[in-house]
Amino acid sequence: MILTLTPNPSIDRTIALAGVLARGQVQRVESVTAQGGGKGVNISRASVAAGIPTVAVLPAAKDDPFVIELLTAGIDCKPVLPAGGVRTNLTITEPDGTTTKLNSPGAAVGPQHLEAMATTLLARAATSSWTVLAGSLPAGSPDTFYADLVHRLHDCPSKVAVDTSERPLAALVDALPGSAPDLMKPNGEELASFTGDDPDVLESDPSATAAAARTLVDRGVGAVLATMGPAGAVLVTAEGCWHATPPPTTVVSTVGAGDSSLFGYILGDIRGLPAAERLALAVAYGSAAAALPGTTIPGPDHVLTDLVAVRQLDLTQGIPS
């Protein structure tokens, strides 16, 4: 079972434009879609599509349409005391796949809201294979919320994955190794935020990305799945480093691609696949998501693992082995 926590869920509204976004002008819209989302929710959606049991913990009223929509989609949802209504995020996609996101902050929380989420999560982590802490934190949260929660989860048999950014990510890194999860999934920009590297380099150079990710593994993180957009992804563990390139993909929307990659890796781990095959499945899932409109999360039928190329990296030489 995959247990997910989405502390700051959202109604994801996607507007698909017929042409290039032009600021200050009236434009034609091809379609508008809306779906309950957030990083953890997206991973739970992928779990349901793949036939893997999942439980999604998030702040919302039990009768909120957001919760009803998730339950209707087959997601076992555990809503906890909310501080306010679920926020709405707006995504604008252009025909070439360019994606613009406008994310609202959500309601400000207090200690009681955070502890309700933590308590509900900890009560179910003992029976989960993976516990995923994902997304931004709502206003009012301490930056250390994820780091503290990872520390509390250390007594649970569940493996722990974290996917976040900005100050919560910095706080998690600062608290290593005591807060070290089994898996982190930064992108190049997020890696660069604490290594000081050029983010453009980390989005294009697999060896540089692997070297940056290695710093996290050296500080206790079990594995780092570093996504690189069109350049694929890098996986670094204590046993080695690998780079995978995606199959040919016509990008429609990048929303949910990183979440899908994270799910693909976890699915591979649940299946007992070796590192290189876990990475291939992660990249195949991320590419499949990018080829789908809006916030559509791929199912197994969309995933083309056989078209993903994986190579092992040798960081002692700086070249692939």
80-112: per-residue pLDDT in tens?
999 999 999 998 988 888 889 898 888 999 999
Give domain status of residue 24, yes or no.
no
Residue 4 pairs with which residues in a beta bridge?
A: 56, 132
Cβ atoms of residues 206 and 240 within 8 Å: no
Give domain status of residue 23, yes or no.
no
Give domain status of residue 219, yes or no.
yes
63 vs 321: which has the higher pLDDT: 63
User: Percentage of the chain with pLDDT > 90?
Assistant: 83
Those residues whose C-beta lies under 8 Å from the C-beta of residue 110, and which sit 6 or more positions away, are 83, 140
State how far the Cα of 92 lies from the Cα of 81, in Å rounded to an integer. 31
35 vs 137: which has the higher pLDDT: 137
Range of the domain at 83: 2-18+29-320
What is the length of the chain?
321
CA atoms within 13 A of residue 217's CA, in its CB half-sphere: 20
Active site annotation includes 259 = yes
116-143: per-residue pLDDT in tens?
999 999 999 999 999 999 999 999 999 9
User: For residue 24, how many other CB atoms are within 10 A of its CB?
Assistant: 4
The number of folded domains in the chain is 1
With residue 261 as reference, give the H or E element that holds it: helix 257-270
pTM of the model as a whole: 0.91
Query: How confident is the model at residue 317, as a pLDDT?
Result: 57
Those residues whose C-beta lies under 8 Å from the C-beta of residue 94, and which sit 6 or more positions away, are 17, 19, 20, 21, 100
3-state helix, strand, coil in the chain (%, to 5): 35, 25, 40
**Which is the catalytic residue, given 259, 269, 301, 314?**
259
| H helix runs in the chain, sequence order | 39-49, 65-72, 111-125, 145-153, 166-174, 188-195, 199-202, 206-217, 257-270, 275-290
221-250: per-residue pLDDT in tens?
999 999 999 999 999 999 999 999 999 888
Give domain status of residue 178, yes or no.
yes
Query: How confident is the model at residue 293, as a pLDDT?
Result: 84
**169: CATH:** 3.40.1190.20
Query: How confident is the model at residue 165, as a pLDDT?
Result: 96
Cβ atoms of residues 135 and 7 within 8 Å: yes
When pLDDT is averaged across residues 274-286 and rounded to a whole number, the result is 98
| Torsion from C-alpha of 281, 285, 290, 291, nearest 10 degrees | 100
